[in-house]
Structure 1
Amino acid sequence: MNHRQIVFAGLAFITLGAANSAYAQVKEVEDSNALTVGIGAAVIPSYEGSDDYRVIPVPQLRGKVSDFAFWTRGPSLYFDVIPNRGQDIDLQLGPVAGVRFDRSSLKSIKDDAVRALGERDVAVELGGFVGVGKTGIITSDYDNLSVRVAVTKDVAGAHSSYIVTPAIEYFTPLSTRSFVGLGVSADYVGKKYGRYYYDVDAAGALASGLPAYSRAGEGAGFKKIGVNLTGGVSLSGDIRKGWALFALGGYSRMLGDYADSPVVSIAGSRNQWIGAVGVGYTF
Structure 2
Amino acid sequence: MRSLTLAGLLACSIALPAHAQSIQSENGDPEGDFAIVGAAGTVTPDYEGSDDYRLSPVPGAAGRVGGIGFQLAGNRLSVDLMPDILESGWKLQAGPLAAVNFNRTSPKSIDQPEIAALGDVGTAIEVGGYIGIAKTAVVTSEYDRISLTLSYRHDVNGVHDSGVWTPTLSYLTPLSRKALVSVFVSADHVENAYADTYYSITPAGSVASGLPVYDADGGWKNWGMGLGGAYALSGDLTGGLLLVGGVGYRRLLGDFADSPVVGVGSADQWLGVAGLAYSF
TM-score between the two structures when normalised by the length of structure 1: 0.91
> Post-superposition shift, 1:25?
5.1
> Post-superposition shift, 1:98?
1.6
Contact residue 81 and residue 93 of structure 1 kept, 8 A: yes
1:239 maps onto 2:248 in alignment:
no
Q: How does 1:200-211 map to 2 (within 5 A)?
A: 200-211=201-212
| Residues 71-119 of structure 1: CA deviation (Å, up to 9, x unaligned) | 1243111111112369621101111112111111122211110000000
Aligned to 1:256: 254
Aligned to 2:134: 133
> Post-superposition shift, 1:245?
0.3
Cα separation, partners in 2 of 1:281 and 1:84, compared to 1, 3 Å = farther
Tell me, in whole angstroms, the C-alpha distance in 1 between the residues paired with 2:14 and 2:109. Answer: 24
Aligned to 1:64: 64
Deviates more, 1:69-78 or 1:134-143: 69-78
Q: How many residues align?
A: 275
Amino acid in the other structure paired with 1:83: P
| Residues 235-269 of structure 1: CA deviation (Å, up to 9, x unaligned) | 1110111111012011110011011000002x210
Q: Secondary structure at the match of 1:138?
A: coil
What residue ranges of structure 2 are gaps of 5+ in the alignment?
Answer: none
Tell me which of 247, 265, 270 is aligned to 1:268: 265
Cα separation, partners in 2 of 1:179 and 1:12, compared to 1, 3 Å = closer
Contact residue 32 and residue 66 of structure 1 kept, 8 A: yes
Tell me, in whole angstroms, the C-alpha distance in 1 between the residues paired with 2:22 and 2:32. Answer: 13
Cα separation, partners in 2 of 1:46 and 1:252, compared to 1, 3 Å = same
Aligned to 1:224: 222
> Post-superposition shift, 1:8?
11
Deviates more, 1:117-126 or 1:20-29: 20-29
Aligned to 2:39: 39
Aligned to 1:184: 185
Tell me, in whole angstroms, the C-alpha distance in 2 between the residues paired with 1:268 and 1:180. Answer: 31
Aligned to 1:105: 106
Contact residue 154 and residue 161 of structure 1 kept, 8 A: yes
Q: Percent identity?
A: 40
Contact residue 12 and residue 58 of structure 1 kept, 8 A: no
> Post-superposition shift, 1:19?
2.6
> Post-superposition shift, 1:42?
1.2
Q: Secondary structure at the match of 2:257?
A: helix
Contact residue 224 and residue 253 of structure 1 kept, 8 A: yes
Contact residue 8 and residue 100 of structure 1 kept, 8 A: no
Aligned to 2:278: 281
Tell me, in whole angstroms, the C-alpha distance in 2 between the residues paired with 1:180 and 1:9. Answer: 16
Aligned to 2:90: 89
Cα separation, partners in 2 of 1:12 and 1:114, compared to 1, 3 Å = farther
TM-score between the two structures when normalised by the length of structure 2: 0.92
> Post-superposition shift, 1:24?
3.1
> Post-superposition shift, 1:26?
4.9
Cα separation, partners in 2 of 1:19 and 1:77, compared to 1, 3 Å = same
CA RMSD of aligned residues (A): 2.0
Tell me, in whole angstroms, the C-alpha distance in 1 between the residues paired with 2:259 and 2:123. Answer: 21
Amino acid in the other structure paired with 1:199: S
> Post-superposition shift, 1:156?
0.7
Contact residue 70 and residue 78 of structure 1 kept, 8 A: yes
Amino acid in the other structure paired with 2:71: W
Deviates more, 1:118-127 or 1:75-84: 75-84
Q: Secondary structure at the match of 2:40?
A: strand
